[in-house]
Amino acid sequence: MTQALTYTHYFRIWVWLVGLIFLSVLASGLLPREGALLVIFAAAWVKAVLIALYYMHLKYERWQLAAVVLIPLLLVVGLAVTLVPDIVIGHGK
C-alpha cells in the first residue's frame, strides 16, 4: 500500500463517520421513537467498529488483541443485564 492510498483510505472512513452522524441527527428528529433509537444506536456501533477496525488497525492485527477489549465489553453487558431486575424493574420499590 502506498502512503497516498493510506491517507485517502483514512479520509474515506472519516467521510463515512461524518455521514453516519448526520444520519443519526436526522433520524432523531424525523423518525418515531423506536425507529430513531434503532438507527441512532446502529449508527453508533457502526462508527465504533469502523474506528476500531481501520483507525486502530484491528482488521490487520491478530484476533487475540481484539479479544482483550471484547471480553470486558461482554462482562459489562452481563453486569448491566443482571442489574435490570434491581435497578430498572425494582426501581423505587
Residues that bind other proteins (CB under 8 A): 3, 6-7, 10-11, 13-14, 17-18, 21, 24-25, 28, 36-37, 40-41, 43-44, 47-48, 51-52, 54-56, 61-62, 65, 68-69, 71-73, 75-80, 82-92
Min dist CB 91 to other proteins, Å, is: 3
The residue type found at 26 is L
Between 32 and 37, whose beta carbon lies closer to other proteins? 37
Min dist CB 46 to other proteins, Å, is: 10
Transcribe the chain into DSSP letters: --HHHHHHHHHHHHHHHHHHHHHHHHHHHHS-HHHHHHHHHHHHHHHHHHIIIIIS-GGGS-HHHHHHHHHHHHHHHHHHHHHIIIIIITTT-
The residue type found at 64 is Q
Between 3 and 32, whose beta carbon lies closer to other proteins? 3
Between 32 and 85, whose beta carbon lies closer to other proteins? 85
